[in-house]
Amino acid sequence: MLESLPNSENSPRLRFDVVNVDHIRELRIFGQRREDFSDFQGSLRENGEELLLACELTSSNAQGVRKHLPWLNPKPLGLNLSAGVGDRLGLATSGHARAFRKYGKEVLPVFAQQSIREMVRLERTPQAVMDDATFGLVEASWVDAVGSDADHLKTSEDIDACLSAGFTLFTLDPGAYVFQVPEDFDGKLSHLPWSALEDSETAMIARYEGISFDVAGKSISMDSDEIRRAAFKYGAAVAYTVSQYRHLMQRASYPVEVEVAIDETDDVTTFGEHIFMATEMKRLGMSWVSFAPRYVDGFEKGLEFKGDIDLLASNLEGHASIAKLFGPYKLSLHSGSDKFGIYSMAHDVTGGLLHLKTSGTSYLEALGVSAVYAPALFREIYDVSRTAYEQARSSYQVSADFNKAPRSQDLSDDDLGELLMRSDTRQILHVGYGAALSIEGSVGEFRLRNALKLCLIENKPYYDQAMELHIGRHLALLGSSS
């Protein structure tokens, strides 16, 4: 239970809790005077020598909670080692908080984190993401600082919606403006928006020629062809990122910070390309706290790192060197869940200038609860995800083989949990959330989503423990030295 801190002798001292009442989560507020509850809407009754206000988990009540418990308002986390733990269902935060409290004391938490892509697929608003995290933190009696991440934003409208909800980290994704260099590249850069770049082709080439950069002890320079290739690929992305950054800074009425993410692009980001983007964004007045390049291959959803760890270490070392040279800023590991073999190495190579993002792994843990306590529901979610895989996979780095995914009717209830352990079926479940959680019932509600949430509420201690252990495993390795 959380207690507010009064600002004066006359201000109210309230106590807050979130509890399960007949399979419905409820905000309970305890106080002494009727007027103390003016920021909330609910049903007031006597509770011994004090008053109890029972409230629904509405956005207005979440706003009241953040007013009385101000540390639950997200803050920028700066260059501190940090981790984001996305939550597709709005019920994982209490378990996430337990994980940070027990295993991640060196890691600053980002609880409200979701990409615009996931919000759209789940018809979930930025405000709902923020409010669900708030109530989960009340449930966990959280008393420390928190961050928040509006992830993979692609438009100014996305930025505005997330500003309205109070997000503090804005991950700008210019992936749609990253262009693949053709094999017959002739060096022409006619497609670049030179006015928006406040630049000219001649000035750009001159800015790099004859200059070398120390990247992890190695000298890197770019000749005219390499400069043109980097500009062809990332020039428009720089212009778009800067325009979105300026929009954010003009609209923000509270402290915010920025991440730039180009991880969901087709080709690995070279050190020269990273230098190009950092140079141009800095020249145009941008500052950012973290950067997510496309690292060497091996990052897939929901699985251990599948590539060469020594090659990844070298890749991270180079990008970290560039981040220190042009920042400092953190490297951000997207698709970062379940890659237990790389966390300690990544911490050491970056000197702790690191941010980890996880999301779908918390959803998989939720499915693990349903496999035990609601096997029929799990079967249906698996069947929908299996059918939707070929279309859903286009947005993600996955390699699941559909032919290795058995039909649910061929498995006993006791065998269902194994589907979360096999790499192919784990990825199918991971990326199939959009299809499974968007199926509507007879009266328009999201049938499978609501059934899964009810299962989690009914078995909340089990889900919280699962989240604590699974996310805790990530945090313990992320905050330690190898």
- The tokens describing 206, both together, are 């001159």
Exposure string over 251-288, b if 16+ CB within 10 A, otherwise e: eeeeebbbbbbbbbbeeebbbbbbbbbbbbbeebebeb
406: preceding bond cis by omega (within 30 degrees): no
Q: How far apart are CA 304 and CA 309, in angstroms?
A: 11
Q: How far is residue 452 from each of residues 79, 132, 164, 456, 458, measured CA to CA in Å?
A: 37, 16, 29, 6, 10
User: Where in the sequence numbering do the catalytic residues fall?
Assistant: 151, 259
Place of tokens 């529901």: 377
Find out whether 99 and 129 touch, Cβ atoms under 8 Å. Answer: no
What distance lies between CA 122 and its chain's CA centroid? 15
DSSP category for residue 270: P
> How far apart are alpha carbons 13 and 36 in whole angstroms?
8
CA–CA dist 453, 468 (Å, integer): 18
DSSP string, 43-101: EEEEETTEEEEEE---HHHHHHHHHHSGGGS----TTS-EEEE--SSS--HHHHHHHHH
Task: Work out the angle between the directed axes of helices 460-478 and 360-373 (0-180°, nearest 10).
Answer: 140
